[in-house]
Amino acid sequence: MTETEPFTEADAEAMLVEEDAGEVRPTPVARLTAYMRGGGVLVPILTVIIAFLIAGLVVLITGHNPLTTYKSIFEGTGLNWLFPWVSGTERATAASNLQQTLIATTPLILTGLAVAYAFRGGLFNIGGQGQYIVGSVIGVWVGSSFASMPAVPHIVFAIVAASLAGAAWAGIAGLLKATTGANEVISTIMLNWIAIWIGVYLFQLGGPLQDPTNPSIPTSSTVTSTAKLPVFWGPPDLQGLHIGLFIALAMAVVFWVVLNRSTTGYETRAVGYNPDAAQSSGMSVGRNYVRVMAISGMFAGMAGAIDVLGYEFHLATNDIQLSNIGFLGIAVALLGRSTAVGTVFAALLFGGLATGTSDRNANLADPTLTTTLTFLIQGLVILLVSTDVIALAILRGRRRKPKTTAPRAPEPAATPPEVEEKAA
Amino acid sequence: MKTTQQRLGWAGVALGVLAGFISVTPAITHVALPSLILAAIGIGLGVYAVADERRLGIAAIVIGVSAIIGAIAAAKSGEANLRNVFTWSALIAATLRYATPLLFAALGGIISERSGVINIGLEGMMLMGAFFGVLGADITGSWVGGLFIAMLAGGTLAFVHAAFSIHLRADQIVSGTAVNFLALGITGYVFIDHYGTNGTPNDISRVPDISIPGVRHINFVGDAIGHANLLTWIGLLLVPIITVFLFRTRGGLRLRAVGEKPHAADTVGVSVFPIRYAAVVVSGMLAALGGAYLSVGFVGSFSQNMTEGRGFIALAAVIFGKWRPLGALMAVLLFGFSSALAQRLPTFSETTATLFQALPYVLTLVAVAGVIGRSRSPGSVGIPFVKE
């Protein structure tokens, strides 16, 4: 140890031993949400454009033409159906593609809302995937049993049961946070994988819920015709667009109403902004954590049910392991600024991206290559969504700069954290 | 008053004894599973308790292990033809194989989280290592080059995570999630672009296996631990090295200080940013080595998303091992054992074996919940440092 070194090991050890006795900070998520909501509409749009530009650059560097690639992706989404000049067979193809895009968008709206609701309550629900799986497992079980039920009650029963299951699954994380302070990020990640393995267990060969009529395939029983969601656009037997889209849009409205026009939503936002202030004004922060997670999980569970009742009709162990609808919900919510409207548009973007880059898009020169572009663009969007947080932070920092450039008094700069701690 | 650790240790001992007791039944029923599960949980509790209640923890582990041996022996005595499948030495060797990639990633996770940066991106960094390890070995024609390029790729991805979460103060969870998606996209894209649908060539240079000269030919031990991949040995060697670094050197002390009380560390002249950058990049390199073990070390090829969530198991091991290298080693051995058992268990019970795959996550959930003794994370993990 040199003499000029003011930092002695004893100092540091003492520092490390010191316990955080209930030190209070605004949760990182609260900070994030506050920044995100300050950015307006322009920032997310810019984010998407930059992400597409970077991905296009990758396409260019690897010797492909980004413009034709993007054009065929766009046509694969079927969004060109909206253009009045598209006609004839081209229009029919576009319609069919657009149906697929909207089918993919539906669960993304819901898992996006799930993550968004938790964000607004100051929690990071990274467990949308697990809640989605639990919802789809319950949905497919209810949908394939109770065959004697009439159609409407059967569908309602399946969706409600799946939503409640999702709520309960997420509620575990909320309960653990409320009672023991367990970080919800870690517990929801663990719950994701537990859900995946339970799902695989149930439907694998010899599993308790494996389709008895199909003993050689690891899949669930097929949803009965009474529980299938009605198709309103396109051929019902060839994966036309089912009414799940309207359920998802209705849930976006519910999201907005609950969050902005109800006591529950008010408490959610209050706890999200500042748990301590909420606590001192008489709200139970712990109960709110449980409630926020349950509502969040409800959205994700519903997404699972709508997918199995709407177009999948049965659930193979592969589907469970390869699905990433719940994970994408994180990207959707971040890009959608945790608002109802933003989430719907972000879901449409990601739904379109998934459909446009999928293997079934015959326009693509190299479908397997383009499929991987989806992940690249998704990653870039998520990364850049966090950059505009930074852009704002830097802007704010600039504005405050005159203050911070003043000669730094060492003592006040160093003391606040410790003072806070002792006070707490 | 008993501490939670003591209660936990006793619970582990009790479970182990119970498991041993019912392990007699397989001789009649041929089903060893209930006692295997109980014993595994008992071992888990023992591993968890061992840091604070050494004797009790070790007792729980020993009893659990003997219960497992008993159960398997009982089941084997019922059906002699199972002997080949369940050879113990093979099980131990398989445990080491499953644990190696997890160990590297978990050690990386410890270094990153000890410095105050949550690394959800371990999964992505492993995936980068897995692909670029193969690509590197293919291009340079040697596994050394492969490992080097894997570390470079993992380190680069980690640098992105570091830059966003340290300097740009992005939310570390968001940035980590982004990094995971990015890795999936980058590896998938370059893989398809470079190798097309044929997959990676099957003659790439692989990391060699190393035999311990004297041990190799001893009957049981030789099969179990006498012969393992070079990376397995390196991983095991890293455990004491990183332990000493973290807890016995000035660098390690600074790293921990930065993770616990960055402002205090800053006040006494420790630069927070460079330490955090270095920690995250090293963490990415280690995770990449773990990923490279899967591809260049073990199977010799790459397939899309081949890490399949192992980064998250590693994350679980970091937490379950209480942010200590030795704890993480115990955790990955336990998790590796549960994977090895799940793979070999179908002989006993086809379906229930799957549930063994969930064991790491259940144990970690119980551990973070703190129902049985909290595992405490570094003080400032997840909080961006703002110099005042």
On whether any CB of chain A is under 8 Å from the CB of B382, the answer is: yes
Tens digits of per-residue pLDDT, A351-381? 998 888 877 666 666 667 777 888 888 888 8
Dihedral sign computed on CA atoms, order A32, A37, A38, A41: positive
Q: Residue B322: what pLDDT?
A: 84
* CA separation for the pair A302, A296 (Å, rounded): 10
On whether any CB of chain B is under 8 Å from the CB of A424, the answer is: no
* CA separation for the pair B310, B290 (Å, rounded): 10
pLDDT higher than threshold 80 for residue B250: yes
On whether any CB of chain A is under 8 Å from the CB of B342, the answer is: no
Q: Which of A1, A206, A321 sits opposite B351 (nearest CB)?
A: A206
* Element containing residue B229 per DSSP (H, E): strand B227-229
Averaged pLDDT score across all residues of chain B:
81
Concatenating the DSSP letter of every residue in B312-363 gives HHHHHHHHHTTT-HHHHHHHHHHHHHHHHHHHHGGGT-TTTHHHHTTHHHHH
Q: How far is B16 from chain A (nearest CA, A)?
A: 24
pLDDT higher than threshold 60 for residue A73: yes
Look at the block and give the residue holding tokens 């994180």: A330
Tens digits of per-residue pLDDT, A180-219? 888 888 899 999 999 999 999 999 887 888 888 888 888 8
Please provide residue B229's backbone torsions phi and psi, each rounded to the nearest 5 degrees.
-65, 145
Residues of chain B positioned with their CB less than 8 A from the CB of A16: 256-257, 260-261
Question: Looking at per-residue confidence, does A137 or B350 come out higher?
Answer: A137
Q: Residue A361: what pLDDT?
A: 67
**Is A28 in Cβ contact with B171 (below 8 Å)?**
yes
Q: Which of B164, B371, B388 sits opposite A413 (nearest CB)?
A: B388
DSSP 8-state secondary structure symbol assigned to residue B302: -
pLDDT higher than threshold 70 for residue B373: no
Chain A residue with minimal CA distance to B369? Answer: A182
Tens digits of per-residue pLDDT, A212-248? 888 888 889 899 988 899 998 888 878 889 999 999 9
Q: Which residues contact A34 (CB under 8 A, 6 or more apart)?
A: A273
Identify how many contiguous H helices and E strands chain A contains and give both numbers: 17, 2
Note whether A180 and A302 are within 8 A (CB): no
pLDDT higher than threshold 50 for residue A170: yes
Residues of chain B positioned with their CB less than 8 A from the CB of A29: 171
Chain A residue with minimal CA distance to B170? Answer: A386
On whether any CB of chain B is under 8 Å from the CB of A5, the answer is: yes
pLDDT category, A115, cuts 50, 70, 90? very high
Tens digits of per-residue pLDDT, B270-279? 888 999 999 9
Length of chain A, in residues: 424
On whether any CB of chain A is under 8 Å from the CB of B125, the answer is: no
What is the CA B41 to chain-centroid distance, rounded? 17
**Percent of chain B, pLDDT > 70?**
81
CA–CA distances in Å: residue A35 to residues A30, A394, B171:
9, 11, 11
Q: Residue B59: what pLDDT?
A: 74
Q: Residue B35: what pLDDT?
A: 72
Mean per-residue pLDDT, B255-261:
90
pLDDT category, B41, cuts 50, 70, 90? confident
Testing the interface with A: which of B31, B114, B173, B338 to mutate, by most A Cβ within 10 A? B173
Q: Residue B356: what pLDDT?
A: 77
Q: Name the residue ranges covered by the structural domains of chain A.
A: 43-400
* CA separation for the pair A258, A199 (Å, rounded): 31
Nearest to B11 by CA among B44, B35, B37, B55: B44
Q: Does domain A43-400 fall into CATH 1.10.10?
A: no
pLDDT higher than threshold 90 for residue B351: no
Q: Which of B168, B189, B358 sits opposite A390 (nearest CB)?
A: B168
pLDDT category, B210, cuts 50, 70, 90? confident
Note whether A366 and B192 are within 8 A (CB): yes
Q: Which of A11, A193, A416 sits opposite B268 (nearest CB)?
A: A11
Tens digits of per-residue pLDDT, A79-111? 888 888 878 888 888 888 899 999 999 999 999
Q: Residue B364: what pLDDT?
A: 80
What is the CA B354 to chain-centroid distance, rounded? 19
**Is A390 in Cβ contact with B304 (below 8 Å)?**
no
On whether any CB of chain A is under 8 Å from the CB of B81, the answer is: no
CA–CA distances in Å: residue A259 to residues A36, A61, A247, A299, A356:
17, 45, 18, 14, 33
Q: Which of A7, A379, A387 sits opposite B270 (nearest CB)?
A: A7
* CA separation for the pair B273, B290 (Å, rounded): 26
Note whether B158 and B284 are within 8 A (CB): yes
What does the block give as tokens for A257? 């109403």
Question: Looking at per-residue confidence, does B363 or B19 come out higher?
Answer: B363
**Is B315 in Cβ contact with A187 (below 8 Å)?**
no
Averaged pLDDT score across all residues of chain A:
81
> Averaging pLDDT over each range in A28-42, A77-91, A307-321, which range is the top one?
A307-321
Q: Is beta strand B209-211 parallel, antiparallel or unpaired with respect to B227-229?
A: antiparallel
Listed by number, the residues of chain A in 305-364 with a beta carbon closer than 8 Å to a beta carbon of chain B are 321, 327, 330-331, 334
Q: Residue B17: what pLDDT?
A: 72
Identify how many contiguous H helices and E strands chain B contains and give both numbers: 17, 2
Mean per-residue pLDDT, B354-378:
72
pLDDT category, B8, cuts 50, 70, 90? confident
Tens digits of per-residue pLDDT, B43-81? 887 777 776 777 777 777 777 777 777 776 666 555 544
Mean per-residue pLDDT, A302-329:
91
Q: Residue B87: what pLDDT?
A: 63
Amino acid at B71: A
Question: Looking at per-residue confidence, does B31 or A236 come out higher?
Answer: A236
Q: Residue A407: what pLDDT?
A: 38
**Is A185 in Cβ contact with B120 (below 8 Å)?**
yes
**Is A182 in Cβ contact with B254 (below 8 Å)?**
no
* Element containing residue A333 per DSSP (H, E): helix A325-335
Listed by number, the residues of chain B in 245-304 with a beta carbon closer than 8 Å to a beta carbon of chain A are 250, 253-254, 256-257, 260-261, 263-265, 267-270, 304
Mean per-residue pLDDT, B179-208:
85
Mean per-residue pLDDT, B111-119:
92
**Is A16 in Cβ contact with B260 (below 8 Å)?**
yes
Q: Is residue B178 classed as helix, strand or coil in its secondary structure?
A: helix
Mean per-residue pLDDT, B83-96:
70
Nearest to A305 by CA among A102, A111, A96: A111
Nearest to A250 by CA among A372, A331, A323, A163: A163
What does the block give as tokens for B312? 């998250």
Q: How far is B313 from chain A (nearest CA, A)?
A: 9
Tens digits of per-residue pLDDT, B128-145? 999 999 999 999 988 999
Chain B residue with minimal CA distance to A20? Answer: B379
Q: How far is B331 from chain A (nearest CA, A)?
A: 15
Q: Residue B195: what pLDDT?
A: 86
**Is B171 in Cβ contact with A382 (below 8 Å)?**
no
pLDDT higher than threshold 70 for residue B289: yes
**Is A190 in Cβ contact with B368 (below 8 Å)?**
yes
Q: Residue A391: what pLDDT?
A: 57
Nearest to B190 by CA among B147, B101, B128: B128
**Is B254 in Cβ contact with A126 (below 8 Å)?**
no
Mean per-residue pLDDT, A40-58:
83
Question: Looking at per-residue confidence, does A58 or B59 come out higher?
Answer: A58
Length of chain B, in residues: 388
* CA separation for the pair B286, B309 (Å, rounded): 16
| Strand residues in A170-253 grouped as ranges (E) | 231-233, 241-242
On whether any CB of chain A is under 8 Å from the CB of B172, the answer is: yes
pLDDT category, A40, cuts 50, 70, 90? low
Q: How far is A236 from chain B (nearest CA, A)?
A: 34
**Is A373 in Cβ contact with B256 (below 8 Å)?**
no
Listed by number, the residues of chain A in 32-71 with a beta carbon closer than 8 Å to a beta carbon of chain B are 32, 58, 62
pLDDT higher than threshold 70 for residue A300: yes
Tens digits of per-residue pLDDT, B217-235? 665 666 666 677 889 999 9
Query: Mutual orientation of helices A285-307 and A263-273 as an angle, nearest 10°?
Result: 110
pLDDT category, A274, cuts 50, 70, 90? confident
CA–CA distances in Å: residue B3 to residues A54, A99, A114, B6, B9:
55, 60, 39, 5, 10
Dihedral sign computed on CA atoms, order A105, A108, A109, A110: positive
pLDDT higher than threshold 50 for residue A145: yes
Residues of chain A positioned with their CB less than 8 A from the CB of B128: none
How many other β-carbons are positioned within 10 Å of the β-carbon of residue A272? 26
Amino acid at A307: D
